[in-house]
Amino acid sequence: MTNETFDPDQLDFFAQTEGLRIEDVCDDFSLLRFIDVESSGLGKDSYPIEYGSCGLDLKPSSFLIRRRHDFRLSDWSTSSQNLHNITLEDLEGFGINADGAVGRIRLDLAPGFIGLSDNPAHDCQWLSRLSPDFDALDLYPVNLFLRQARIAALERQGYERLSRATVRVQQRYPHVHRAGPDSLRAAAQFRLLVDDEYVETILGS
C-alpha cells in the first residue's frame, strides 16, 4: 500500500510519535492493547480479514471478518491467502460481519486504552475501511515502545540474561501471520521488558 492512500492526519500523527516516551503515552500498562490486523492484500483497496488483540495478561482474542458486499473480490490476493492460511470460504463460514467487527473493535480500543501495532499506518487504513469511526484512530508503533523498554530492561537484567529470555519468548510465540498469535507475541515481548518476574518465569520454564 502506498502512502497516498493514508489519511494526512494519520501520517502527521505517525511522524510525531518518534519522539514520544512511553511515560508520555501511558502510566498504566494494563491499558495497553497490542493489536494486529491481517488483510486481503497490500493494494490500496485491500480490506481487513482478521483482527487480533492482546494485553499484558497474555490472553489474546481474535476474529475473522466476513467480506463486506462492497469489498471487491479483485482486491483478494492469493499471496495473502497463502501467507495467512485464510480462505474466502473461512471468512464466509466463520467470520463475523463488518458491523459486528466494528462494535468489538470499539470496545477493545475504547477511550482510555492505548493501541499498539507493528504497522500502525496499514492497520489504521484497514480499520478505516470497516468504518469512518476509525479514521481518527491513533495507534502507536510497538517497536518504539520496545526499544525504550529494552534500555531499562538491560540495566536491570543484563545483556546475556535478557537475550536468553528474549530467544525463549520468540520460540514460544513465533510469528505466524495470524492476528491472535501475533498480537500475543508482541505483548509477550513487551511484558518481558517491563516485568522482571516474567523473565524469571520464562527462564525457569
pLDDT in tens, 102-129: 999 999 999 999 999 999 999 999 999 9
Q: What's the mean pLDDT when you consider all of the chain?
A: 91
For every residue of 23-59, DSSP letters joined together read: HHH-S-GGGEEEEEEEES-SSTT--EEEEEEE-TT--
Please report where in the chains the cell 466463520 appears, as a residue: 94
Q: What is the DSSP letter of 97?
A: P
Taking a C-beta distance cutoff of 8 angstroms, is the pair 33, 70 a contact? no
Q: Does domain 3-141 have CATH number 3.30.420.10?
A: yes
Q: Please tell me the distance from the alpha carbon of residue 184 to that of residue 174, in angstroms, as a whole number.
A: 10
Cell of 124: 489504521
Taking a C-beta distance cutoff of 8 angstroms, is the pair 68, 88 a contact? no
Coil, strand or helix: which one is 85? Answer: coil
Average pLDDT over residues 186-190: 98
pTM, full prediction = 0.89
Neighbours of 100 (CB within 10 A): 13
pLDDT of residue 23: 80
Q: Where are the domains of the chain?
A: 3-141, 143-204
Residues in a beta bridge with 38:
50
Residue type, 163: S
Neighbours of 132 (CB within 10 A): 8
Taking a C-beta distance cutoff of 8 angstroms, is the pair 66, 38 a contact? no
pLDDT at 133 over 50: yes
Neighbours of 195 (CB within 10 A): 15
Please report where in the chains the cell 476474529 appears, as a residue: 63
pLDDT of residue 102: 98
Question: Of 110, 119, 97, 190, which Cα lies nearest the Cα of 150?
Answer: 190
Report in angstroms the alpha-carbon separations of 203 from 12, 168, 169, 197, 199. Answer: 41, 8, 9, 10, 6
Percent of the chain with pLDDT over 70: 91
pLDDT of residue 17: 59
